[in-house]
Chains A and B, each alone.
Chain A
Amino acid sequence: MEHNRPHARHLPRILVISSGKGGVNNSTLLHEQIKHLPPALPCMVQIREKHLSARALHALALAISSAKLPKGTLLLINERIDIALSAGLHGVHLPENAMPPDAIRAVSSEMLIGCSVHSPLSARRAEKADADYLLFGPVYDTPSKRPFGNPQGLEKLAELCAATALPVFAVGGITPQNAGPCVEAGAYGIAAISLFMNPETLSATIEQCYRTFCP
């Protein structure tokens, strides 16, 4: 299947996932975060606000997509292709229990589609179903994922990266210090929630992470 998805070829290597936390004046923390993205290092930004109604999500997506963002920023939202289309976002990110990528493609062929995967099998399934990138984790220990068991670790990350031709983003307990081993294991990029939660240090943190990819 041929798709005209120019943005899928050179994805940024940093994926900032929103925290679901509030910001000042009833806004979301994401509003603050996007003001502090480094101007010359493009990121992907995933709107993941599970607690919001579709109406509130739609309003947030519109606000973020109409904000002033660094050139090359790619905006994604969890699962809701309808909101992505309506708000003019670049794509959707699919949890493993979401609609499969090919069903999303049938609605809009131009969307950038990422898939959360937890095994080489689901990675191959997502690739076959025409995903653009994969998100794998938790690679390291992270409080939010502790209830689901031990972290997957670098070896499993390497196995997963070997099983697919798609770019893989490592997630879970990532810091600028431990991002390097993820890249050595075959990860294309890194993703995080808490690492990027402080707007004051966001820009510097992203710069530090970028040095992992271009030492």
Chain B
Amino acid sequence: MIPSTPFLCVVTDEAFNPVTLAEKALEGGATMIQLRHKSASGSQLLFWALEIVRLCRLHDALSIINDRIDIALASNADGVHLGQLDMPARAARKLLGPSRILGISTSSPAEALQAEEDGANYIGFGHIFPTSSKERNSAPVGAETLAAAARLVTIPIVAIGGIAISSANQMISCGASGIAVISAVSRAENPAEAAACLLEAMRRGEQ
């Protein structure tokens, strides 16, 4: 269900059309697309979600909706990704049933353990490095904390936050199963190529 290691989750960027971005990312081999758009209306989100779900099925990738379990259910997406200010994981799991994917954002080993206990299928862990893609009040957690979290939990960990081609392999050697990126793909001159390079860099980290 979760893609085989190493996997690449491309999170949509509010500055670009998410469907166009998803298409390019999938072309480059992204294994998971997360639709994340905090300011879009429900009807707009549903429209994008239906398109992204369709594209992901074509490419054998997973479609994940950020925060909006309602949109995920209505678009028949593969799952949801929830932050610490979104619906609690246990409540989300009840709505999603056993087969849909639940990802939870965490930023400490304790939160990661809790997410696993609450029924998450994977954990987003970060932000590892400084990043401008999301507004952050906290300091980056760094690679060592990622490694500590990876030792604690048994479900896949996806490293997120400021990860570039140069650091992708390090995430995998720290025990992450994959990485999630926004700007590394969305702001690249060639997003498809950037996605392919990130996957290639992670594979080097496995060896």
Chain A: residues with CB nearer than 8 A to chain B?
53-56, 58, 79-83, 85-86, 94-95, 97-100, 103-104, 106-107
Contacts and interface: CB of A to CB of B under 8 A. Distances in A.
Given A79-B42, A97-B43, A99-B46, A86 B71 contact: no
Contact of B71 (A56, A58, A94, A99): A99
B110 interface: no
Nearest to B86: A54
Contact of A107 (B43, B74, B84): B74
A53 B74 contact: no
28 contacts: A54-B86, A55-B84, A55-B87, A56-B85, A58-B88, A79-B42, A80-B68, A81-B70, A81-B74, A82-B69, A82-B73, A82-B87, A82-B95, A83-B87, A86-B87, A86-B91, A95-B42, A97-B41, A97-B43, A99-B42, A99-B43, A99-B45, A99-B46, A99-B70, A99-B71, A104-B70, A104-B74, A106-B74
Nearest to A58: B87
Interface in B49-80: 67-71, 73-74
Contacts of A100: 43, 46
B95 A99 contact: no
B87 A99 contact: no
A80 to B, nearest CB: 6
A82 to B, nearest CB: 4
Nearest to B41: A97
A94 B42 CA distance: 9
A155 to B, nearest CB: 29
B43 A98 contact: yes
Interface of B: 41-46, 67-71, 73-74, 84-88, 91-92, 94-95
Given A81-B74, A103-B74, 8 more contacts: A54-B86, A82-B95, A97-B42, A97-B44, A100-B43, A100-B46, A106-B74, A107-B73
B42 A55 contact: no
Contacts of A55: 84-88
Nearest to A104: B74
A95 B42 CA distance: 9
Contacts of B70: 79-83, 99, 104, 107
Contacts of A83: 70, 87
A215 to B, nearest CB: 39
Nearest to A102: B74
Contacts of B67: 54
B85 A53 contact: yes
Contacts of A97: 41-44
- 8 nearest A-B pairs in the assembled complex, by CB-CB distance: A97-B41, A82-B69, A98-B42, A53-B85, A82-B70, A99-B42, A81-B70, A103-B74
Contacts of B69: 82
B30 to A, nearest CB: 26
Contacts of A81: 70, 73-74
Nearest to B84: A55
Nearest to A79: B42
A24 to B, nearest CB: 24
A104 B71 CA distance: 9
Nearest to A94: B42
Contacts of B46: 99-100, 103
